[in-house]
């Protein structure tokens, strides 16, 4: 790895308690992970144990911090939480399934999917541009701070998609064409302001 190249190992947290078999808008809700979620990140931590991480960062939400702790423990590091890496705030949809949103707030889901980049969910929700601003600010800062080093970050499905979209210079409108499974691993190289995505959505059992 070149002296100016920063390699980022970007993970999604493991399966969450309220997300088994059904999609829910967790957003900023501080939900815990399941036993399966813990196993997913433990497997990734084992996979990454022989790397030379200089730092492990995470969203400040519990589900991400737990995963980051599993990775950091293999390297004798403390997790560095950063609130800018949080999931998108889903406003009054937080904790609801898509079906519940349709039932409780008719028309809002259609408005969002018709303008997924700009639509803010009522009740204090963010849009994708809000998340992009804070998440990419964090990633740029971390990459500069750790120039020439390997680092790990554990964040969220939506946040990771935005980070990957930025690295690939893809429009945010295509965000949902990119999968981020629970416990997945992505690898991104940053070099003098340019990014190269080396791996995407690697499952814990993928060799």
State mean pLDDT over 197-206.
89
Q: How confident is the model at residue 21 (pLDDT cuts 50, 70, 90)?
A: low
Report pTM: 0.94
From the candidates 13, 75, 146, 156, which is the catalytic residue? 13
State mean pLDDT over 56-71.
98
Measure the CA–CA gap between 179 and 45, rounded to whole angstroms.
21
Other beta carbons less than 10 A from residue 57's beta carbon: 24
Taking each helix axis as running N to C, give the angle between helix 128-145 and helix 157-167, from 0 to 180 degrees, rounded to the nearest 10. Answer: 70
Query: Where do runs of H (alpha helix) occur along the chain?
Result: 35-47, 62-73, 98-104, 108-114, 128-145, 157-167
- 76 CB-near residues (< 8 Å, 6+ apart): none
How does pLDDT run across 30-61, given as a tens digit for each residue?
999 999 999 999 999 999 999 999 999 999 99
Residue 97 pLDDT greater than 70, yes or no = yes
For residues 67-94, one letter each, b for 16 or more C-beta atoms within 10 angstroms of the residue's C-beta and e for the rest, the string is bbbbbbebbebebebbebbbbbbbbbbb
Measure the CA–CA gap between 193 and 144, rounded to whole angstroms.
9
89 is catalytic: no
Query: If you average pLDDT over every residue of the chain, what do you get?
Result: 94
From the candidates 28, 75, 87, 146, which is the catalytic residue? 87
Q: What are the tokens at 21? A: 């078999």
For residues 12-51, one letter each, b for 16 or more C-beta atoms within 10 angstroms of the residue's C-beta and e for the rest, the string is bbbbbeebeeeebbbbbbebebbeebbbbbbbbbebbeee
Q: What are the tokens at 183? A: 């416990």
Question: Going from the N-terminus, what domains does the chain have, and what CATH number goes with each?
Answer: 5-89+126-202 (3.40.50.1240)
28 is catalytic: no
């Amino acid at each position: 790895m070149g002296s100016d190249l920063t390699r980022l190992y970007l993970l999604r947290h493991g399966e969450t308690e309220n997300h088994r078999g059904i999609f829910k808008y967790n957003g900023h809700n501080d939900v815990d992970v399941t036993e399966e979620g813990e196993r997913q990140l433990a497997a990734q931590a084992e996979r990454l144990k022989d790397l030379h991480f200089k730092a492990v960062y995470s969203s400040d939400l519990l589900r991400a911090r737990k995963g980051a702790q599993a990775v950091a423990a293999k390297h004798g590091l403390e997790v560095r939480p950063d609130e800018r890496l949080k999931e998108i705030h889903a406003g009054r949809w937080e904790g609801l399934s898509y079906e519940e949103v349709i039932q409780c707030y008719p028309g809002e889901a259609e408005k969002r999917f018709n303008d997924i980049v700009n639509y803010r969910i009522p009740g204090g929700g963010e849009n994708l541009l809000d998340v992009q601003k804070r998440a990419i600010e964090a990633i740029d800062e971390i990459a500069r701070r750790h120039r020439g080093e390997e680092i790990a970050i554990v964040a969220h499905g939506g946040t990771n998609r935005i980070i990957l979209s930025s690295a690939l210079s893809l429009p945010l409108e295509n965000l949902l064409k990119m999968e981020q499974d629970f416990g997945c691993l992505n690898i991104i190289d940053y070099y003098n302001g340019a990014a190269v995505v080396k791996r995407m959505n690697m499952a814990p059992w993928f060799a």
